[in-house]
Structure 1
């Protein structure tokens, strides 16, 4: 499994994002959950044998439905679209006609055409902006995330709120963690400032394994070892998008 999924996801190029897995030196890595498939190894799935690349493709379809489905489930701030545009794209993806879309959204056919136009303009802007940033990186000969001797932290791809609260460097992160956690890993106090709160919660989320379901009691036991007010931590992990649960709290899991 991959340690830093955020970096893997946000550093992926366009083709990698579309296919959902990264072609690395020794394996193919799912950019959503971090599962890896070793090159040269044969995998048995439902009685059939597949190479690593095909297994990665099957993994995306089985575990994540598709990259289109996954991305449409992300915070719209990451996509640069409105909730209405997201809903429109979801309908386009089903293959229904513009007339049916107009009926479902209770809008005129001309409005559907206008949605198509605006999305096309966004697509052109995105292409030019991506090319611009790649050219800038070539000129600077370093990634935009490099700041002095440190680098900017990547925003969690499961974040519920996307703003300047995530604007921190690796050096700042380590300083905040050393301030709030003692030498045995217990949380001294829960931060009041949002930026520090996010760093602390991100660190706490690493105490749980991705892809595993936990009971509320298991979550509580783990968090109580870190901080007496484990209820506040549990609720914050959900509120800030690091963790999710089923209604009623029977199962909890780390969001991917």
Structure 2
């Protein structure tokens, strides 16, 4: 891809996130996987031809589902949405009435209305918070001294806390200290921050959108570190990769 896709995602505008893609230069790029569609090129699907932006929309829907559901399925640390709120939002998205949702969830209509009210209040809070942060960014732009840039958290992280408070400089130094010139891992760090950096760097050895067998995973990881099994376990545990229940197929999470 050439770009840090997680960083691109977190820096996208609300409108871009709603669409699932952004336009820069001469390309429409998927915010989730980074696939690009060049303006001016006609793309064919079946017997139909599409211009680039239309094809980007089709790609997002077919490869990643609706953006509404994709965002709802992100880690609760990112969305701030509880499981019951997620279920209700999905029901609201389907156009169900309060009485229908209440019946489906075995709750009273008044309970559904209360949750709807709380979601509206959360929306108001989010607007105010975004305005505050935008004003803060504007005020910082007038100052000469710049803060150290933080590394973007991968969208599929299974936990989000102070362990992800990592600067670009810390990332650079950790990679330099823990990997040799050939890309082999010298040792597995014990500190969580460094472990996250190491695992993220290792993920670059795999192609997003590709499914790997366990044998392929072991072979690739074995070239990086002798104890490939622990690398494989950590990549799953920290949300960088996923696998089927029978452990026959693995892939990088997007």
Normalised by the length of structure 1, the TM-score is: 0.95
- Per the alignment, do residues 69 and 179 of structure 1 end up closer, same or farther by CA in structure 2, a change over 3 Å counting? same
| TM alignment of 1:1-256, pairs within 5 A | 1-141=1-141, 147=147, 150-256=148-254
Q: d(CA) in 2 for partners of 1:236 and 1:90?
A: 31
RMSD across aligned positions (CA): 1.4
Q: d(CA) in 1 for partners of 2:127 and 2:2?
A: 29
Q: d(CA) in 2 for partners of 1:175 and 1:229?
A: 23
Once the 2 structures are TM-superposed, how far is the Cα of residue 27 of structure 1 from its aligned partner? 0.3
- The C-alpha deviation readout for 1:220-243, integer Å capped at 9, x for no partner, is 000011111100000110111000
Question: Any conservation in 2 of the 1:72–1:86 contact (CA below 8 Å)?
Answer: yes
Q: d(CA) in 1 for partners of 2:231 and 2:117?
A: 44
Question: Any conservation in 2 of the 1:2–1:34 contact (CA below 8 Å)?
Answer: no
Q: d(CA) in 1 for partners of 2:95 and 2:243?
A: 32
Once the 2 structures are TM-superposed, how far is the Cα of residue 142 of structure 1 from its aligned partner? 7.6
Find the residue that maps to 1:151 and give its secondary structure: coil
Q: d(CA) in 2 for partners of 1:132 and 1:213?
A: 42
- Farther-moved stretch of structure 1 (79-88 vs 112-121): 79-88
Once the 2 structures are TM-superposed, how far is the Cα of residue 2 of structure 1 from its aligned partner? 4.9
Once the 2 structures are TM-superposed, how far is the Cα of residue 88 of structure 1 from its aligned partner? 1.5
Q: d(CA) in 2 for partners of 1:114 and 1:205?
A: 43
- Farther-moved stretch of structure 1 (99-108 vs 46-55): 99-108
Q: d(CA) in 2 for partners of 1:197 and 1:243?
A: 15
Normalised by the length of structure 2, the TM-score is: 0.95
Q: d(CA) in 2 for partners of 1:142 and 1:211?
A: 42
Once the 2 structures are TM-superposed, how far is the Cα of residue 165 of structure 1 from its aligned partner? 0.7
Structure 1 residue ranges without an equivalent (≥5):
none
Structure 2 residue ranges without an equivalent (≥5):
none
- The C-alpha deviation readout for 1:119-161, integer Å capped at 9, x for no partner, is 0001011111111111211121189xx62xx411111111011
Q: d(CA) in 1 for partners of 2:249 and 2:28?
A: 30
- Number of equivalenced pairs: 252
